[in-house]
Amino acid sequence: MGKNVLLGVCGGIACYKAVEVASRLRKKGVDVTVIMTKSATQFVTPLTFQEITGNPVSVDMWDKVQHWDVAHISLARKADFALIVPATANILGKLAAGIADDMLSTTLLAVTKAIYLAPSMNTNMYLNPIVQRNLKLLSSLPNYHIIKPASGHLACGVEGVGRLPEPAEIVEQLEKDQLAEESLAGKTVLVTAGGTREAIDPVRYIGNRSSGKMGYAIAAEAVRRGARTILVSGPVALAAPAGAEVSKIETAREMKELSERFFPQADITIMAAAVADYRVENPAPLKIKKEQEALLVHLVKNPDILAGLGKIKKEGQVLVGFAAETHDLLAFARQKLVKKNLDMIVANDVGRKDAGFNVDTNAANLISKDGKIEEIPLMSKSEMAKVILRRAEALLSK
């Protein structure tokens, strides 16, 4: 498969399971490079990992390693993704605080790809509000993924949450997310993201609360799956996903023009943008002065971009919309699915504080044309992007 994985091993009793994780990854043809913390070497020797992976194991920042340039930077650069097994409370705390004081934490801070953390520790430690806060913070970052610990009998003698999942389960999750072939290679994915802006005068506009996070996460995931990815984006404060072709627009009509231009090339189109339904009919050419007690602004309806695409959709194209609703979520979403001729709609309950606009997490229901509803629980927007693309991909291959 030719993937490179950086396996970080921290000092916990579950260290021995990291040996099996390394072995299973090797058997799948993955090149595994291990960094151990000093405490981890008290449980398992570096030699064990060296023998299993066939690669030198790093522990000390100051070791003389001949064949790497700046060791921690080159290890970070080489990795297609990183996996920390077990992730102790200590490494979670360091990552959440941005502390880099040993080989593992220093390297992880330089990793820009996905980082999977498999926490394992005593139940009380795991449930400690500080640890939970750190986990919440990390899981809200786009490239961090938490592999949830299992419950059961722990080495410290208690029953509860904090047990490392079985190595086979950990590798299975990675297989789905990272080791799968580039499932969208040769395909084109068109994504819209962010909110549009409609001018009132040269300095004021009508806008909405969309941050673009959801659409950008979908575009990043499409790139990771090997698709040519076209992103049509409203004004947002986000870095462009590496590898995506980004076109910036301001108004709904500009978004319409670009979406229609790219749509015929797209195998999958996902409209995550929050498009203004109305625009100011005659924006003032000069700044409006505040002389009047009241100001009337006449709004006219914007074109519905998605409905337009639904009309020109060809056989074999998959069209996915979002529905942002504060009430009667499923009923309104179903209506939009039918009316706009969609293959799937992501029904977003934007009345929740932790989902929808301008937050790092989302929760939704995926409704497909055949009426099937899948409830997607609260998760990071990058996790949700994976789920949405997995479903869209399945629709494409139907």
Burial of 195 (0-12, 13-18, 19+ CB in 10 A): buried
User: Do residues 6 and 33 lie in contact, with contact meaning Cβ atoms separated by under 8 Å?
Assistant: yes
Question: How many chain residues are in contact with ligand PMT, going by CB under 6 A?
Answer: 27
Nearer to ligand PMT, 170 or 273 (CB): 273
Q: Any contact of residue 210 with ligand PMT (CB under 6 A)?
A: yes
Q: Which is nearer to ligand PMT, 121 or 232 (CB)?
A: 232
Residue 10 annotated as catalytic: no
180: burial class by Cβ within 10 Å (0-12, 13-18, 19+)? Answer: middle
Does residue number 189 form part of the binding site for ligand PMT (CB under 6 A)? no
* Residue 147 Cβ vs ligand PMT, minimum distance, rounded to whole Å: 24
Note whether 278 binds ligand PMT by CB under 6 A: no
315-334 footprint of ligand PMT as x/- string (CB under 6 A): ------xxxx----------
The contact mask relative to ligand PMT for 336-355 (x = CB under 6 A, - = no) is x-----------x-x-----
Nearer to ligand PMT, 16 or 278 (CB): 278
From 156, 203, 300, 378, the catalytic residue? 156
* 357 makes contact with ligand PMT (CB under 6 A): yes
The distance of closest approach from Cβ of residue 128 to ligand PMT in the complex, given in angstroms and rounded to an integer, is 30
From residue 152, give the alpha-carbon distance in Å to each of 102, 148, 177. Answer: 32, 13, 26
CB of 361 to ligand PMT, least distance (A): 10
Does the N-terminal peptide bond of residue 56 adopt cis geometry, omega within 30 degrees of 0? Answer: no
Asked if residue 358 binds ligand PMT (CB under 6 A), the reply is: yes
Contact stretch for ligand PMT (CB under 6 A) within 16-24, 53-61, 76-84, 304-312:
304-312
Q: Across the chain, which distance is largest between two alpha carbons, in Å? A: 80
The number of angstroms, rounded, from the C-alpha of 28 to the middle of its chain's C-alpha atoms is: 24
Give me the numbers of helices (H) and strands (E) for the chain, helices first please.
13, 19
Name the nearest CA neighbour of 145 among 118, 121, 123: 118
| Binding test (CB under 6 A) with ligand PMT, winner from 220, 231, 306, 388 | 306
Q: Which amino acid is at 235?
A: P
Q: How far apart are CA 176 and CA 200, in angstroms?
A: 47
The pairing of strands 318-325 and 344-349 is: parallel
Pairing verdict, β 144-146 and 31-36: unpaired
Helix (H) / strand (E) element for 82: namely strand 81-87
If one asks whether residue 147 binds ligand PMT (CB under 6 A), the answer comes out as no
Based on CB atoms, which residue is closest to ligand PMT, 106 or 361? 361
- The residues near 124 (Cβ < 8 Å, ≥ 6 apart) are none
CB of 242 to ligand PMT, least distance (A): 19
Q: Name the site residues for ligand PMT (rule: CB under 6 A).
A: 194, 210-214, 252, 271-275, 277, 302, 304-306, 321-324, 336, 348, 350, 356-358
Catalytic residue numbers?
A: 156
